[in-house]
């Protein structure tokens, strides 16, 4: 057989056995690491089991063809042989991709941050539209979404928003969206019909907890303030909003989602951890830039990754040099063509890099 992954299956069985030991649950970090490793192996193990079964079916068909004289039995065996060979080729391709290195954060929930950048109101309008597109796309993929914080301009469009996307593999689905998004179109206020260019920034941050990153209380500056709004329904008259700053990095978070100061503090901690974790991961990624396998995924958030040209009904992803038409549908929720193309390009780049290493 082309693949012999019996050792991997043994590792998977050992992980299952370890996780069935009650003593392991005394160490939550170990439980999480074991569970994450098991989840990463699961797909490959299942594919390999199907692969071995297909080979067994092929061997049985070949044996019948070699020994059987009855023509009807031989015809059935020939069909079984052809089906098994086709299935084996398909499974080999799937196993090959399943063995590619995975991002350790792929299965995590995420916090998405969208900010209007250049060109004022037009950038805020596009930030609102792209945020809506992301949330509709996430819900169509059966993820759960919830806005954590947002700041609007005088016209009611988004200056900055943070929302959560929760369920397995949220980071894997959204991770290619980080960077600068550029929009080219004629604003409604443009009397001469000129195309304007505006930009927004998107950051995709994996949701992390205290097991991933430790924040010391003495490194925090926490201020309780009065919330200016609370979900558009009331004005909070108590100091329930939390402004939290991590002094070593000067990363700050403002949270006023809840009427409860305790809940806002808890949410601010969660967002702050994710921001610090993303910053540290960005530093590590830049340090290993020359060695990185993927040529698609860039941690440089200042990099222009995509242009939405409305007059020409064209979305261009600059990392893979590919164009997509149908902007109205894309901005509604049909982002999967772009997401799938990026994931495929990433996998192909990793395969090429792995091939060079093996040469």
Share of the chain above pLDDT 90, in %: 47
> 114 pLDDT band (50/70/90 cuts)?
very high
Alpha-carbon distance of 70 to 2, in angstroms, equals: 32
Q: What is the pLDDT of residues 343-356, one digit of tens each?
A: 989 888 888 877 76
Q: What is the pLDDT of residues 246-288, one digit of tens each?
A: 988 888 888 887 777 888 888 888 888 888 888 887 776 665 4
Task: Give the best-scoring range by mean pLDDT among 159-168, 216-225, 286-295.
Answer: 159-168
> 228 pLDDT band (50/70/90 cuts)?
low
Enumerate residues 6+ apart whose C-beta is below 8 A from 104.
Answer: 36
Q: What is the pLDDT of residues 291-335, one digit of tens each?
A: 433 444 444 445 789 999 999 999 999 999 999 999 999 998 889
């Amino acid at each position: 057989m082309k693949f012999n992954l019996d050792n991997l299956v043994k590792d998977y069985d050992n992980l299952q056995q370890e996780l069935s030991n009650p003593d392991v649950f005394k160490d939550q970090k170990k439980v999480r690491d074991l569970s994450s490793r098991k989840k990463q192996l699961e797909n490959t193990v299942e594919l390999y089991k199907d692969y071995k079964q297909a080979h067994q079916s092929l061997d049985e068909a070949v044996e019948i063809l070699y020994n059987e004289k009855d023509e009807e039995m031989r015809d059935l065996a020939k069909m079984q042989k052809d089906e098994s060979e086709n299935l084996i080729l398909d499974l080999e391709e799937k196993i090959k991709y399943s063995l590619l290195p995975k991002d350790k954060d792929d299965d995590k929930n995420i916090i998405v941050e969208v900010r209007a950048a250049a060109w004022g109101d037009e950038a805020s309008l596009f930030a609102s539209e792209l945020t809506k597109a992301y949330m509709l796309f996430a819900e169509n993929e059966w993820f759960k979404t919830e806005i954590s914080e947002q700041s609007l301009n005088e016209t009611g469009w988004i200056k900055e928003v943070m929302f959560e996307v929760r369920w397995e593999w949220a980071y894997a689905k959204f991770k290619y969206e980080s960077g600068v998004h550029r929009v080219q179109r004629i604003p409604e206020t443009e009397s001469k019909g000129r195309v304007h260019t505006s930009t927004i920034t998107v950051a995709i941050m994996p949701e992390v907890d205290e097991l991933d990153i430790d924040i010391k209380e003495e490194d925090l500056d926490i201020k309780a303030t009065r919330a200016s709004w609370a979900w558009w329904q009331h004005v909070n008259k108590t100091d329930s909003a939390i402004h939290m700053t991590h002094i070593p990095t000067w990363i700050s978070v403002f949270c006023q989602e809840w009427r409860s100061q305790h809940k806002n503090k808890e949410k601010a901690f969660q967002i702050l951890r994710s921001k610090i974790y993303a910053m540290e991961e960005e530093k590590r990624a830049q340090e290993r830039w020359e060695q990185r396998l993927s040529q698609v995924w860039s941690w440089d958030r200042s990099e222009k990754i995509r242009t939405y040209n409305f007059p020409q009904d064209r979305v261009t992803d600059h990392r893979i040099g590919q164009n997509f038409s149908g902007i109205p549908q894309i901005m509604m929720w049909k982002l999967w063509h772009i997401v799938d193309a990026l994931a495929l390009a990433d996998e192909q780049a990793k395969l090429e890099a792995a091939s060079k290493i093996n040469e």
